[in-house]
Structure 1
Amino acid sequence: MKTTVFLLEDDLDITRLIVRTLSQQGIDTRSFRRISEFEREIKRQLPDLCLIDLSLPDGDGLSLVNGGGLPCSVPRIIVTGRGGLTDKVVGLEIGADDYIVKPFEPRELVARVRAVLRRSAKSATPAAAAKNELITFGDWSADFDGCTLTHRDGEVINLSSSEAALLGALVNSAGRVLSRSQLLDITSGRTGEPFDRSMDARISRLRRKLRDDPKAPSIIRTVYGAGYVFSIPVDTKAG
């Protein structure tokens, strides 16, 4: 089946470049200039991946990255001219699977799109979370098929596809230290760049969802100079 990408971009030149580049790779790309058009089509058909600009005529694309009717199973990549570190960290913190700054090389776009698609396919059902199984740890149970966390007190937390992939990687390696580069490779299909702190932002967001004290985390512990380790016992139960 052909891969379908939805592109939300109001710059016609950028739109033509992206559509042409992805079409040459056999990827069907549908473009939208407004959030309202994009949201209407999402209700009719789900793509395999979304490319989302931030500055749009009828709003900020961040609202889509952080939910906006997109199920957690649909990966999303921000493609924007906002190249500041703060913008990138915020974008990744709220659930983007990757962040591409304009102008970009077409080959880089293709590589990142394919990497996110590979990661999405791998994380659809993490190795330790087979069908009809729930992963439990501490006060939480994780449903990787549904991209949700459920606390013992009944609260249900939604996870983005990137958060589910990251938690799955940590859970599957519970008790073992994983470096930032290893986590980035597992969850995004690419290795870290110099001074790339995107994984720190993702870990921070996941800790908040797990109610893990950022000053003294007990679930996802930082091993300074080495990376992160999932520190509590994990149990797999049939759903």
Structure 2
Amino acid sequence: MATHINSPRTALRRHHADVDNSAQHLLVVDDDRDIRLLLAEQLGVAGFTVAVAGDGTAMRQELDRHAIDLVILDLNLPREDGLALCRQVRMTSTVPIIMLTARGDPIDRILGLEMGADDYVVKPFEPRELLARIRSVLRRAQALPTNLDPLDARRAVFAGWTIDFEFRQMVAPEGRVVMLSGAEFRLLRMFIEYANRTLTREQLLAMGAIRQGEGLDRAIDLQVSRLRNKFGRDGGDLIRTVRNEGYVLAAAVQLE
């Protein structure tokens, strides 16, 4: 899939000052060789170590070979598309994923997030936008608030649902696996840690429930709505609205 990036490589160089990304290893997965090489060069200028892959097979080899901190994954790949690859990665790893798409249909971006992507960027894009999103996703992945330090448990069970902290997924009472985006996983972790206690929007914001730059109350409400949808018909009963206060996970939680 051919496309182009709007800005020259100096756009990233100007934003490299005072930022040290040298310890962070990115993987760019795109079937367009020119895009792969250009992104690798530009992100290298910004201080990252960058590996590249042209398809799913090469992507898996790089993930096995290196400790990757973030994957930049093109949606439209040959043989195995980005959505399928995102889902495969998310079954075994919580590595952050930013999806690249040239499609304007919002459903493609929604599907990417549903499959477990942490963010998306629409082609053509400004390198500064991609760099800002990379840094934002890495900050969220590597600098969780202290009250979201890893729980001393591998999973949580409530109302027949099992939440796997290691693989960032849910298993429904009937055995169906439900993938979570990065934002949905963080929000659910907050609700689990404070089960049966009302969390205000202000508290959820302070704990990092949404990306920086998003609208405040409306963004929280939208994220809660998306998380409820993952529970299907159980969503409204499990994550309840407390009028004029906030939200609460209304279930007895067992940590295992």
Task: Sort the TM-score into its range (normalised by shorter chain).
Answer: 0.7 to 0.9
Q: Is the 8 A contact 2:170 2:178 kept in 1?
A: yes
- 1:100-141 Cα shifts (integer Å, max 9, x gaps): 011111111111101111111235996275334755544445
Name the residue aligned to 2:212: 190
Name the residue aligned to 2:112: 91
Q: Is the 8 A contact 1:35 1:59 kept in 2?
A: yes
Counterpart selection for 1:122 from 133, 143, 148:
143
Q: Is the 8 A contact 1:4 1:48 kept in 2?
A: yes
> Secondary structure of 2:117's partner?
coil
Matched residue count:
230
Cα distance in 1 for partners of 2:219, 2:77 equals: 27
Q: Which amino acid aligns with 2:211?
A: G
Q: Is the 8 A contact 1:123 1:168 kept in 2?
A: no
Name the residue aligned to 2:239: 220
Cα distance in 1 for partners of 2:35, 2:220 equals: 25
User: Deviation of residue 25 (structure 1)?
Assistant: 2.2
2:122 counterpart of 1:101: yes
2:93 counterpart of 1:72: yes
Cα distance in 1 for partners of 2:144, 2:179 equals: 13
**RMSD in angstroms over aligned alpha carbons?**
3.8
Q: Is the 8 A contact 1:120 1:161 kept in 2?
A: no
Q: TM-score, normalised by structure 1?
A: 0.75
Cα distance in 2 for partners of 1:203, 1:120 equals: 22
Q: TM-score, normalised by structure 2?
A: 0.70
Counterpart selection for 1:11 from 32, 51, 58:
32
> Secondary structure of 2:148's partner?
coil
Q: Which amino acid aligns with 2:201?
A: L
Cα distance in 2 for partners of 1:19, 1:137 equals: 44
Cα distance in 2 for partners of 1:199, 1:125 equals: 23
- Of 228-237 and 26-35, the range deviating more from structure 2: 228-237
Unaligned runs of 5+ in 2: 1-21
Cα gap change, 1:233 to 1:77, in 2 (>3 Å): same
Counterpart selection for 1:2 from 16, 23, 28:
23
